[in-house]
């Protein structure tokens, strides 16, 4: 499943799933540019994890909700590495506000962070990928955009369901350039984000209910992303794959 010679961008990679994806793509041979928003120390740790595999790394600090940041990420990657083969749109966040408590600003924040940023970076990266007639665009969605599961808020579900629809349309349009577009929709993954909104009792209840009696891991997600980015997934496009350990 070698990615030797490939250039990847992973957004939102300063920790958790994003860091695991960046490091795993590097372990498979790719050089990796990645974005982060605030935490310089965490970004330095991700860069070290990439370079530990002998690959080149570039950390881009910016808010991908802004068009100019998306432009700078893609242009900076091409300037440093020459081209782009793989884009993983991992940037995302959530809120615990109920539908009736969600403000207009709350809605815009989640949609812009989770969906708009993926659209903007994908559009810019695809223009680069089509020059070589090869590319992989992988969105990190959520089971919450596909299934009714506890704790998923309306605006978060909308952002992730929108990602699935965007995937189908992008895949159809970009197939002529051999650019494959898919979404991986994990269930609950053990990350800092999950720890922030789940109490110990909630985690215990989840583990009791879940068919495998545990959360997924960032590495499990990263390993599947590496497969989706490789030539072994050459007939996979336009799909949203739920990876939730049987939860659905």
Q: How far apart are CA 145 and CA 157, in angstroms?
A: 5
Q: How far apart are CA 129 and CA 74, in angstroms?
A: 11
| pTM for this entry | 0.93
- Kindly report, residue by residue over 19-69, the tens digit of the pLDDT: 999 999 999 999 999 999 999 999 999 999 999 999 999 999 999 999 999
pLDDT at 245 over 80: no
Distant-in-sequence, close-in-space partners of 10: CB < 8 Å, separation ≥ 6? 18, 21, 22, 25, 32, 33, 34, 35, 88, 90
Q: How far apart are CA 157 and CA 206, in angstroms?
A: 19
Nearest CA to 115 out of 153, 147, 79, 155 is that of 155
- Cα dist from 6 to 72, 132, 185, whole Å: 20, 12, 24
∠ Cα 138 139 145 (to 5°): 145
pLDDT at 9 over 70: yes
∠ Cα 176 116 229 (to 5°): 45
Phi, psi of 240 (to 5 degrees): -115, 115
Distant-in-sequence, close-in-space partners of 190: CB < 8 Å, separation ≥ 6? 215, 216, 217, 218
Q: How far apart are CA 178 and CA 132, in angstroms?
A: 9
Beta bridge partners of 7: 31
Q: Residue 1 — very low, low, confident or very high, per pLDDT cuts 50/70/90?
A: low
Take residue 95 and report the two structure tokens written for it. Answer: 């809120």
Give the residue numbers marked as catalytic: 156
- Kindly report, residue by residue over 188-240, the tens digit of the pLDDT: 887 776 666 667 776 777 677 777 777 789 999 999 999 999 999 999 999 99
∠ Cα 20 128 236 (to 5°): 60
- Kindly report, residue by residue over 99-138, the tens digit of the pLDDT: 999 999 999 999 999 999 999 999 999 999 999 999 999 9
Question: What pLDDT score does 196 carry?
Answer: 64
- Cα dist from 10 to 35, 74, 149, 242, whole Å: 7, 11, 27, 20
Contact 14, 60 (CB under 8 A): no
């Amino acid at each position: 499943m070698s990615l030797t010679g490939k250039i990847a961008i992973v957004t939102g990679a300063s920790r958790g799933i994003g860091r695991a994806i960046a490091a795993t793509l590097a372990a498979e041979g790719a050089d990796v540019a990645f974005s982060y928003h605030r935490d310089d120390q965490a970004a330095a740790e991700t860069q070290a994890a990439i370079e530990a595999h002998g690959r080149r790394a570039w950390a881009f600090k910016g808010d991908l909700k802004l068009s100019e940041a998306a432009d700078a990420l893609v242009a900076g990657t091409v300037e440093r590495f020459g081209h782009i083969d793989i884009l993983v749109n991992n940037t995302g966040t959530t809120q615990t506000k109920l539908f009736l408590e969600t403000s207009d600003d709350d809605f815009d924040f989640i949609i812009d962070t989770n969906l708009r940023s993926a659209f903007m970076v994908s559009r810019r990266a695809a223009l680069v990928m089509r020059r070589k007639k090869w590319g992989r665009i992988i969105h990190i969605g959520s089971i919450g955009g596909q299934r009714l599961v506890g704790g998923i808020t309306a605006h978060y579900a909308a952002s992730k369901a929108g990602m699935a629809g965007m995937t189908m349309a992008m895949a159809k349009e970009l197939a002529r350039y051999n650019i494959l577009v898919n979404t991986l929709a994990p269930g609950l993954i053990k990350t800092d984000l999950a720890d922030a909104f789940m109490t110990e009792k909630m985690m215990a209840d989840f583990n009791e209910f879940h068919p495998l009696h545990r959360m997924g891991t960032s590495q499990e997600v990263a390993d599947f992303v590496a497969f989706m980015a490789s030539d072994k997934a050459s007939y996979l496009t336009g799909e949203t794959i739920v990876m939730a350990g049987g939860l659905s």
